[in-house]
Amino acid sequence: MSVDESWLAGVEKETGENARQPPPPPLTSDKSGFDSSTGIYHTLHQLGEDFQIPTRHDLDTCRYVLSQFPHPDHAESKIALIDAYSNRQVTYAQLHRSIRALAAGLYHCLGVQKGDMVFVVSPNSILYPTICLAIFSIGAILSPANPINTESEITKQILDSGAKLIISAPEEQDKLKRSGVPILLTTRTSDQNNSLSIEELIECCDPVEFPRVKLTQSDTAAILYSSGTTGISKGVILTHANFISIMTLLKWSVYATSSQNDVFLCFIPIFHIYGLAFFGLGLFCAGITTVLMQKFDFQAMLDAVQAHKVNNIPAVPPVILALVKYANKINCDLSSLRRVGSGAAPLSKELNEEFRKRFPWVELRQGYGLTESCAAATFYVSNEHAKARSGSCGRLVPSFSAKIVDIETGLALPPCREGEVWLKSPTIMKGYLRNKEATDSTLDSDGWLRTGDLGYFDEDGFLYIVDRIKELIKHNGYQVAPAELEAILLNHPHVLDAAVIPVEDEEAGQIPMAYVVRATGSELNEEQVIRFVASQVAPYKKVRRVSFITAIPKSAAGKILRKELVTLSQQEVFSKL
């Protein structure tokens, strides 16, 4: 069966004729984009005519993605996905047919309806994008989960989301049986008890039977759970409009910085908004080829770059740190690599500059976004700007506005003044699932998202994130940013990784404590670490305690799980009593 060319052409016509260019920002003499009359920073980038955000109401995520696929004649040969381990390849035409066939199977065979919650527990696979887009196409709601979560964590998320169906990798099904929710496995197994798998549904269902469900951009598309690094994990409600907006922006960013012939490497988990927005949806809108890894492995990543001539790696700071630390031991040919992106967690100025020294031919560009903003906010278009402003995460992407709000007075601040970052754009979430209190405290009545991040814009409109406000250490009335101390610690030649947390103190309120991963064979001690940091910071920022650990606990996106370290520090204190 060939790709349904007439159906795709119809969607292209809908999105093109009904698209609207966002209005340009108000004229301002401030090159930062700051409007002093409103306290708002406006984007300095504008979308061209080919990258307009569609506003047609009766449009959904899947139809938009399929409308951006290569022309049917080209789709039969253009590679969409490559499995890094098996080298199995999927063309855009095959991907299109799989999405339609699975949608038909879910709708007609399993009775999944509009508004039903479908819970997905699986590591990355070349089936994952098909699963996501098929769920979107029938109006069901996607709720992906981290497969390494415990049974109790997953059960809580299933109950909170109200899942009607679970799609699971075979190795994860034992965690799910107690939920009582029907389970559909991703792949065949020998003990499947005659039940269908995703693979078999795709094989046995006719793409022609693709259901025509009436959807709108305002319908809920997905519930993604925040990482919960500083509090209880919350279900973030994202609509089809949110995803259509982010895909348009990602397509714009790819065309602005890359080539359609580029090869991207994916080890970012697709259950995370960073992975879902980029690799589950966005790159398909630019006709990109993606090499997909099931999970991150440093050597396997290097091998994949060499074997598939990878040009682009959207990454996270721990991966960039590993590249820097082991640069002299890398035997693979990385000459094809042109760009490395960093997101999901702050990348220090020091690590940024060290990476450029080690890999001078590779462009390193940091971006900033949240689950609540559908992974978007700021980005670097120019590598020269990125090189000149190490530590910044770029300028506001098109369609975004921002405020920097004083955390004490609530006043909007001009450039070079620190405050809480507020964001506004078509990608901002609808709210938190069944949590009005959290929604009201995060979204104001005008739609501004309070990010909880402390930052500032410089005089040229580049954003700098200092730290999470909730993670700031309050020492004798001063605010100490853990990220600043962590950046210093990572510069020590005997430190492989580090994290800084607050520890309660009767006299000072809180003191900074460092958890350090020593290099192999190192005899680095607590006093040496304390002196090293003290020589580079003001007295109130000094690290007061140090504990050595084998690994820093981090989320799948690379964020430090400070809650776990705080708990560990309390246990250490208790054990000494």
* Helices assigned H by DSSP within 208-348: 240-257, 273-275, 298-308, 317-325
- The model's confidence at residue 25, banded by pLDDT at 50, 70 and 90, is very low
pLDDT digits (tens, 9 = 90+) for 496-548: 999 999 888 877 778 999 999 999 899 999 999 999 999 988 788 899 999 99
Confidence of residue 563 (pLDDT cuts 50, 70, 90): confident
**Which bin fits 83, alpha (ψ -120 to 50), beta or left (φ > 0)?**
beta
Evaluate if residue 250 carries a pLDDT over 50.
yes
Hey, CA dihedral for 328, 332, 334, 335, is it positive or negative? positive
How many other CB atoms sit within 10 Å of the CB of residue 234? 22
pLDDT, residue 385, reads: 83
Q: What is the pTM of this model?
A: 0.81
Helix or strand run (H / E) with residue 419 = strand 419-424
Strand partners, 405: 412, 420
Residue 181 has pLDDT above 50, yes or no: yes
The string of pLDDT tens digits covering residues 430-471 is: 999 999 999 999 999 999 999 999 999 999 999 999 877 877
| Confidence grade of residue 27 (pLDDT, cut at 50, 70, 90) | very low
Report which of 282, 317, 256, 322 is spatially closest to residue 483, judged by C-alpha positions.
317
Please answer whether residues 80 and 95 qualify as being in contact, where contact means their C-beta atoms are separated by less than 8 angstroms: yes
What are the DSSP calls for 236-249, one per residue? EEEEHHHHHHHHHH
Between CA 262 and CA 284 the distance in angstroms is: 12
User: If we measure between CA atoms, which residue out of 290, 281, 287, 286 comes closest to residue 244?
Assistant: 281
The span from the CA of 55 to the CA of 355, in Å, is 41
The CATH homologous superfamily to which domain 473-575 belongs is ANL, C-terminal domain (3.30.300.30)
User: Which helix (H) or strand (E) is 129 found in, with range?
Assistant: helix 128-137
Helix extents (H) in 445-561: 482-489, 526-534
Beta-carbon contacts of residue 570 (< 8 Å; ≥ 6 apart) = none
Which CATH number is 58-466 given?
3.40.50.12780
What is the residue-wise DSSP string for 85-124?
Answer: TT--EEEHHHHHHHHHHHHHIIIIIS---TT-EEEEE---
| Angle between helices 349-358 and 482-489 in degrees, nearest 10 | 30
For 181-200, the DSSP string reads: --EEESS--TT-TT--BHHH
Mean pLDDT of all residues in 244-266: 88
Residues 82 and 110: their CA atoms lie apart, in Å, by: 29
- In this predicted model, what pLDDT tens digit does every residue of 72-82 receive, in sequence order? 889 999 999 99
Q: Tell me the C-alpha distance between 53 and 62, whole Å.
A: 15
The boundaries of every CATH 3.30.300.30 domain in the chain are 473-575
Q: In 490-577, which ranges are continuous DSSP H helix?
A: 526-534, 562-576
Q: d(Cα 285, Cα 70) in Å, to the nearest integer? A: 9
Residue range(s) of every CATH 3.40.50.12780 domain in the chain = 58-466
Give the up-direction half-sphere exposure of residue 282: CA atoms within 13 A in the CB hemisphere.
28
Q: Which of 485, 544, 536, 483 is nearest to 510 (CA)?
A: 544
More confident residue, 150 or 502: 502
Band (pLDDT 50/70/90 cuts) for residue 557 is low
